[in-house]
Amino acid sequence: DWFNSGRSRGRTHPKGIVDAVNHVKNMSDVTVDENKIFVAGLSAGGYLAVCMAADYPDVFAGAAVFAGGPHGCDTGCMGSPAPGNADHQVVHNEYKSWWTDASKRKPRMIIWHGDTDYIVNYSNMDYLMQQWTGALGVDKNADWTGTLNGDTQHEYKEYHDGSGKAVVATITLKGMGHAVPVNPGSGNKEGGAVVGQYAKDQGVYGPYYSIKWLFTGKK
C-alpha cells in the first residue's frame, strides 16, 4: 500500500509491520535497543521503507532504500516523479507532533539507485533526497561528495545536520538497473550474496554498507 491512502500511519501494511516490531520489543527474552531499529526495502519495498520512516519516526531510527522514491507517491512516480513529490510536508503530516519537535530523534536515510534503472526511474533518488533533507531540516546541497570504498563507479554523497553528522546519504550505482548491489564472496564486506534478477554484482555489498552507515553514520 505504498501507493495509496493505506500507506499512512495506523493503516494496513505500515501498521502490520509496526505491530510485528512491537511484538518483538515486548518479548520477555529479548532486549531491543530502540535506537537500532531500522527498515529497508527494494523497489515497492523501498517505497514502503520510506513510508515506514515517515509514518513511524518514533519507531524507526533509520531506513535503507534501494530503488525507491518519495513518500506520498503513487505508481506514476516510478516512471516520472514531479517536483511536487519532493514536498517534505507530506512526511511531516504523518506524525506532525513528532516531526516538528526538535527534541525528538528523526530517522536517517541512505538511498541507493542504479542510474539505468528501467522500472523505477533514477530521478526518484533525487526527489527522495530533496524530500528527506527537507523533512530533517538540512541543506539539499551535499556536504561531501566522493566514492564508495574507493570505487569510482559509484558516486557517494552525504548531507549533514548542524553538528556535522551525516543524516542522509545517496549512492548512484553507475550502469546498474533495478536491483540491490552485491559483491559475491565470503568476506564481511561481501556477505556471501549471489547475483540474480534483482541482485547485481557491482563490487559493493549494499546491505552491509547500509547497516554500517545506519549504525555509525560513516561509509
pTM of the predicted model as reported, rounded to 2 decimal places: 0.96
186 is annotated as an active-site residue: no
The region that residue 164 occupies, defined by phi over 0 for left and psi between -120 and 50 for alpha, beta otherwise, is: left
Mean pLDDT in residue range 112-134: 97
Mean pLDDT in residue range 23-46: 95
pLDDT at 50 over 90: yes
31-35, 54-58, 179-183, 190-194: which has the minimum mean pLDDT?
190-194
The rounded distance, in Å, linking the Cα atoms of 155 and 169 is 10
The rounded distance, in Å, linking the Cα atoms of 98 and 137 is 14
Nine-digit cell string for 68: 525507491
Strand partners, 40: 64
Question: Which pLDDT score, from 0 to 100, does residue 151 have?
Answer: 67
Question: Do residues 2 and 47 lie in contact, with contact meaning Cβ atoms separated by under 8 Å?
Answer: yes
Question: Which pLDDT score, from 0 to 100, does residue 58 have?
Answer: 98
Chain segment 153-205, per-residue pLDDT in tens: 789 999 999 999 999 999 999 999 999 999 999 888 888 878 999 999 999 99
Question: Which pLDDT score, from 0 to 100, does residue 150 have?
Answer: 67
Choosing from 28, 43, 103, 123, which is the catalytic residue?
A: 43
What residues have CB less than 8 Å from 24, skipping those under 6 apart?
30, 32
The rounded distance, in Å, linking the Cα atoms of 155 and 138 is 20
The rounded distance, in Å, linking the Cα atoms of 183 and 201 is 5
Chain segment 129-160, per-residue pLDDT in tens: 999 999 999 999 999 999 876 667 789 999 99
Mean pLDDT in residue range 3-10: 93
Torsion angle defined by CA atoms of residues 120, 122, 128 and 129, in that order, rounded to the nearest 10 degrees: 160
Question: Which pLDDT score, from 0 to 100, does residue 91 have?
Answer: 98
